[in-house]
Structure 1
Amino acid sequence: MTAPGPEAAPPRKRRRRLPGDPPAPAPVARMLRVDQAGEYGARRIYEGQLAVLGRTRSGPMLRHMWEQEKLHLQAFDDLLPERRVRPTLLSPLWHVAGFALGAGTALLGSRAAMACTVAVEETIDRHYAAQAEALEGRSEEVDLRDTIERFRAEELEHRDTALANEAELAPAYPLLSAAVRAGSRAAIWLSERL
């Protein structure tokens, strides 16, 4: 006769935060703040690209990525009040800058819009990978880590789609992608802090 195996632990139910609960620890609050800001900026980038390229053959592809970014944003919009984390003070700036970046690159053509997507998504990939690593082993943050990893996979899908749609053939690709990466890193740094 074999000894009974360990029983599977019941699924962990996440307790909703109640009024008066302490806010999220500082590192997690920074993660949530910057991730919400980043997904908001991404949504605005795709809205700018759609405003220019929405009726071209690129429209359905851009719309698909935009829909995914809206779901990412909704997840972080829900987490901020639940975790008692304030959004970045820079949301009005990201509202304008995201749309301008999307529309501006789209005005240079679909390849430039795709180059923008590659640069942003590669920056986000590194950012999400660092966050997932920081949350590794923290049993109270399994759900957040899983969310970040799921969104990271979708961001990499966006990058791969953009590469398949000739991003690297954009005019001045190295310069354009370097500028977008630098801007994305600056936006991350600022949104974590403000």
Structure 2
Amino acid sequence: HAGEIMAQALYTGQATGTDDPELREQLQRARTEEEDHLRWCEARLRELDSRPSLLAPLWYGAGWSMGFLAARRGRASNLGLVVAVENQVEEHLNSHLDELPADDDRSRAIVAQMRDDEVGHAAKAEELGAEKLPMPIRLAMGVFSKVLTRGALWI
């Protein structure tokens, strides 16, 4: 759920920050899918008598800021952020699939569909001309990803 909060914010920041109408439209389509993911996660959390992270506003602000800053660096960097984030998300969702109980078909279906959508977002960004982000940025994203995934579990 926390990742989906951040993903929709990321795409919103990217769409807000770009001057490219074609790219803005693509980012808004991806954001719509992320909103679907968020609704699925919220519903599943309710079904499991759980709750979202209390840090959701922080995740939203961080995602929006990252997206906006990437967009201001230009189209290739903006798309590069999509690829880098979605690759991390794919890996994270695969780990969820490995850890989910084999008989939790509902959660497995949700996570698998989300993963497939994220793979599609990365592929589309590569098709549109994504550049690989510099190593320091990718490393910082990895650290932040760990903070997000662990922080969402406890708070």
TM-score by length of 1: 0.74
* Structure 1 residue 168 corresponds to structure 2 residue 131: yes
C-alpha distance in 2 between matches for 1:45 and 1:54: 16
* Structure 2 equivalent of residue 159 of structure 1: 122
Per-residue CA shift, 1:47-100, capped at 9, x if unaligned? 111111275221121111111101000111112222111211211211211111
Shift of 1:114: 1.2
Q: Percent identity?
A: 26
* Structure 2 equivalent of residue 48 of structure 1: 13
C-alpha distance in 1 between matches for 2:122 and 2:69: 19
* Structure 1 equivalent of residue 83 of structure 2: 118
Cα pair 1:48 1:99 within 8 Å, conserved: yes
* Structure 2 equivalent of residue 183 of structure 1: 144
Structure possessing the higher relative contact order (Cα contacts under 8 Å, 6 or more residues apart): 2
* Structure 2 equivalent of residue 4 of structure 1: none
C-alpha distance in 2 between matches for 1:174 and 1:157: 23
Q: Which is higher, the Rg of structure 1 or of structure 2?
A: 1
Bigger proportion of residues as helix: 2
Matches within 5 A, 1:1-194: 36-53=1-18, 56-135=21-100, 138-139=102-103, 141-168=104-131, 173-194=134-155
SS of residue in 2 equivalent to 1:168 = coil
C-alpha distance in 2 between matches for 1:81 and 1:132: 20
Unaligned runs of 5+ in 2: none
C-alpha distance in 1 between matches for 2:51 and 2:118: 24
Per-residue CA shift, 1:20-57, capped at 9, x if unaligned? xxxxxxxxxxxxxxxx1100110000111111127522
- Please identify, of 178-187 and 124-133, the stretch whose mean Cα deviation from structure 2 is larger: 178-187
Cα pair 1:50 1:59 within 8 Å, conserved: yes
Q: How many residues align?
A: 155
Cα pair 1:119 1:178 within 8 Å, conserved: no
Cα pair 2:10 2:67 within 8 Å, conserved: yes
RMSD, matched Cα = 1.7
C-alpha distance in 2 between matches for 1:156 and 1:182: 21
